[in-house]
Structure 1
Amino acid sequence: MVKNIDEGEKRMRSDKYHKKKKRRWPSILLVLLLLIGGVVGYAYFQYKQGVNQSLKKINKDNKEDVVYTFEGQKDQYGDTNVLLLGSDARGKEKSRSDTIMIVHFNEDKGTFKLTSIMRDSYVSIPGHGKHKINSAFALGGPELMRQTIKQNFDLDLQYFAIADFQGFVQLIDEAFPKGVEMDVEKKMTEFVDVPLEPGLQRLDGAQLLSYVRFRHDAVGDFGRVERQQKTVQAIKDQLSGFTITKLPKLIGVVSPYVNTNMDTSDTLFMAKDFLSNNRGSIETLRIPIENSFTEPRISGEGQVLDIDVKKNKEALHQFITQ
């Protein structure tokens, strides 16, 4: 009799345990959903806060983006390439791109590489003959620039981002309240908004913009491209104190200044990997590479970089696949 009672108690306890366990799962699921909802809500709030912060600083007559077509896709290696174009005249069809970069993102490895194409590279532009590559943007927007890069270098680009230089200033000031530490190698005063003195110093957004755009010295555009790549690496190295939780607001701050076909979720995904501390340095390439170009003067174009397309195409593909 005692034995039967013990067995009955065990069954009752077991039944109670399983009922509690069944009741516990909906509670855990509810808590998880609330947490996820809270995180998403917080991220959206921060993003909108960043957008509104920038919209207050933008001339309302110049904040409408041109809607561009862009027939991009992943490259033949399965990687994502983002065409970055920097321009003073954001939204104006006839402006030439001042800065041309390709960000190569390997999703499996989470690694980034950066190629800078010098704007005076003299190449074939589909339907327009040979011109400096930066004129492709003026002639047909980012899509014609994509076609030009595909035709000359056999590389597909999935996304584009056209950045107003003021967006760069706002990004730096938001991400680096104390400035970005840079060793300014020389005095820079000609044709820059903010003059710079040489030496190791912290540069705010406006100062850093002067640094990456300066080219009025003996090395001209070559020096500017080198400084741009040096600045990207410095930003990467000095983002150690920048946490993932700050990303939504930062993207919000920059987004009013950028015309892009990237979704906010795609931007967040790539930015998260860029911010990761264990990814190491960013490898860089400049086109044209050394000993692959001449510098003739062309009627109607001025001095150009007449590049060996085959040699530069091979160097680009070797760079992104190694």
Structure 2
Amino acid sequence: MRADRHQKKKKKRWPSILFVFLLLIAAVSGYAYYQYKQGVNQSLKKMNQDKKTAKVVYDFAGQKDQYGDTNVLLLGSDARGNEKSRSDTIMILHYNEDKGTFKLTSIMRDSYVAIPGHTKHKINSAFARGGPELMRQTIKHNFDIDLQYYAIVDFQGFVQLIDELFPNGVEMNVEKKMSTNIYPPLQPGLQRLNGAQMLSYVRFRHDAIGDFGRVERQQKAIKAIKDQLSGLKTIAKLPKLIGVVTPYINTNMATTDGVSMAKDFLSGDQNIETLRIPVDNSFTEERISGEGAVLDIDVEKNKEALHQFITK
């Protein structure tokens, strides 16, 4: 009899436990959504735009690469959603879901390559000619790598994200005075940079090494951001962070996929490996009529370097 009563109590207890569990999930989901909307509204207020402002919808025939990994085409632009603008920054974020690891490839914008349907031009013009889809086709055609997603990032979104993540700034060692064609200007030395200052740092290119230095600084900045993130505390802020950058990003990635990747990025303790295309000793600097200064690259050598980097 006692055993029967104990069994009945056990059966009655399970619905209560399930109800509490579902209630907890609903509460967490509701709070996450509230934080997300707070982030969105915060950025919209700073943008001084109507909430119903539409983003350009791009066709993008992306897929996982031949190694089963996810590659995200990252394009930096001052004119979000403007098909006439060239992409100022071109990166590929490589994500290995099984390992939870990330690698980053920067493609220099003056790389002189074949653009499908448009002969040879600087690679950054592919965006102006056909949006992220033509950029995807160009990278596939030259380097034989598939890209599943794209994300066009307005640089002001970068500023807002840095200020939200790092209220006290990101610690950076600024290697030289930087002032030409950027604001605010930067002085050399170890210091904490806010969002606007970080944008100046990653965009400066008016020195002896030009775009090569800028690409190096962009990769250095991303590594510093990753190294200085505070693990669980940052993950707890993830819904609001996603909301903060959403108005500034045009992407074909579902929010759930973005959250999953962001969680792995924030929680992982491994360093981000980086690659620059063109690699050393694989290009010559030329002047082409109608194009100006270009990097005439050895496509096969760079294709091989990219695949070795992804698979090692």
Which TM-score band (shorter chain)?
A: over 0.9
Match of 2:10 in 1: 21
* Structural mapping, 1:216-295, within 5 Å: 216-240=206-230, 242-278=233-269, 280-295=270-285
Match of 1:304 among 284, 287, 294: 294
Structure index of larger Rg: 1
Match of 2:58 in 1: 68
SS at match of 1:29: helix
CA distance in 2, matches of 1:300, 1:102: 28
User: Which letter does structure 2 place at the counterpart of 1:29?
Assistant: L
Which is further off, 237-246 or 155-164?
Answer: 237-246
CA distance in 2, matches of 1:227, 1:151: 28
CA shift in 2, pair 1:215/1:106, >3 Å: same
Q: Does 1:43 align with 2:24?
A: no
Shift of 1:63: 4.5
CA shift in 2, pair 1:106/1:193, >3 Å: same
1:63 touches 1:256 (CA, 8 Å); kept in 2?
Answer: no
2:101 touches 2:268 (CA, 8 Å); kept in 1?
Answer: no
CA shift in 2, pair 1:95/1:59, >3 Å: farther
Shift of 1:193: 1.5
2:100 touches 2:268 (CA, 8 Å); kept in 1?
Answer: no
CA shift in 2, pair 1:219/1:296, >3 Å: same
* Structural mapping, 1:183-194, within 5 Å: 183-194=173-184
Q: Which runs of 4+ in 1 moved over 2 A?
A: 59-64
Shift of 1:59: 4.0
- Number of residue-to-residue matches in the alignment: 310
Segments of 5+ residues of structure 2 without an aligned counterpart are none
User: Which letter does structure 2 place at the counterpart of 1:209?
Assistant: L
CA distance in 2, matches of 1:122, 1:63: 35
User: Which letter does structure 1 place at the counterpart of 2:65?
Assistant: D
SS at match of 2:47: coil
Shift of 1:244: 1.4
Segments of 5+ residues of structure 1 without an aligned counterpart are 1-11
2:94 touches 2:102 (CA, 8 Å); kept in 1?
Answer: yes
1:64 touches 1:91 (CA, 8 Å); kept in 2?
Answer: no
CA distance in 1, matches of 2:7, 2:234: 42
2:74 touches 2:153 (CA, 8 Å); kept in 1?
Answer: yes
TM-score, reference length from structure 1: 0.95
CA distance in 1, matches of 2:217, 2:48: 29
Q: Does 1:122 align with 2:112?
A: yes
Q: Does 1:30 align with 2:19?
A: yes
TM-score, reference length from structure 2: 0.98
Match of 2:200 in 1: 210
Match of 1:172 in 2: 162
